[in-house]
């Protein structure tokens, strides 16, 4: 991986979308890029903050920046793509964004434990990965997770993640969101050398 700076991070992310975005989101009727672009598009349509839109856009970026590869229905272990994603973004994005990335899988486990109706809405692939990810949270895990000051935003991005699985939906491409991604980076790094 090249040395990333605030002037190259957005192009780096755009390049991943361009080169790898066509890869299958196995078990879902969308590619990885379509999935993330749909989440960001819904966030923008619903008037969410730029930080939330960008978090939705990048929530699965760890599928590409880690050595762990993409989700596979044959997996017998969780591959922790959410940690890889947050690690790459951590130098450039605010905690609000990286928390939404890092905890988007935990949020599914949280919602399954706290909202019985939520489980019914999960796709088959998402139920499969839920089991690999540890199933619904225990009461102690729910209590700990609830203490995160960014809980509401984490849940919001989880719902955008769930929504971004629409076959044949037209969305803007990464270039549409790139200036917004740069603004979020610049706001976060303002005042640092």
Cα-Cα-Cα-Cα dihedral sign, residues 93, 30, 39, 147:
negative
Any contact of residue 82 with Fe ion (CB under 5 A)? no
Under rule CB under 5 A, residue 60 binds Fe ion: yes
- Is 162 an interacting residue with respect to Fe ion (CB under 5 A)? no
Write the CB contacts of 178 (distance below 8 Å, at least 6 apart in sequence).
10, 14
Q: How far apart are CA 27 and CA 41, in angstroms?
A: 21
Q: Is the CB of 132 or the CB of 189 nearer to Fe ion?
A: 132
CA 157, CA 183: separation in Å to the nearest integer? 19
* Closer CB to Fe ion, 60 or 153, in the complex: 60
Residue 141 corresponds to which tokens in the numbers above? Answer: 């895990």
* For Fe ion, the closer CB: 26 or 178: 26
Question: Measured from the CB of residue 160, what is the shortest distance to Fe ion in angstroms?
Answer: 9
The nearest distance, CB 28 to Fe ion, in angstroms, is 9
Among 28, 82, 153, 161, binds Fe ion (CB under 5 A): 161
Residue 175 CA to residue 168 CA, distance in Å, equals 19
Q: Which residues bind Fe ion (CB under 5 A)?
A: 60, 161
């Amino acid at each position: 991986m090249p040395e990333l700076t605030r002037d190259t991070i957005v192009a780096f992310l755009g390049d991943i979308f361009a080169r790898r975005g066509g890869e299958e989101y196995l078990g879902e009727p969308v590619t990885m890029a379509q999935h993330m672009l749909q989440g960001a598009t819904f966030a923008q349509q619903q008037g969410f903050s730029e930080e939330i839109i960008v978090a939705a856009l990048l929530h699965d970026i760890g599928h590409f920046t880690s050595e762990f590869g993409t989700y596979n229905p044959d997996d017998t272990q969780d591959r922790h793509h959410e940690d890889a994603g947050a690690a790459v973004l951590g130098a450039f994005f605010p905690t609000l964004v990286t928390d939404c990335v890092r905890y988007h899988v935990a949020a599914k486990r949280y919602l399954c434990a706290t909202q019985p109706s939520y489980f019914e809405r999960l796709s088959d692939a998402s139920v499969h990965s839920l089991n690999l990810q540890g199933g619904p949270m225990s009461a102690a895990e729910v209590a700990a997770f609830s203490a995160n000051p960014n809980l509401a935003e984490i849940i919001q991005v989880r719902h955008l993640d769930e929504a971004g699985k629409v076959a044949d939906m037209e969305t803007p491409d990464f270039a549409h969101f790139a200036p917004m991604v740069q603004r979020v980076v610049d706001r976060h790094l303002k005042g640092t050398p």
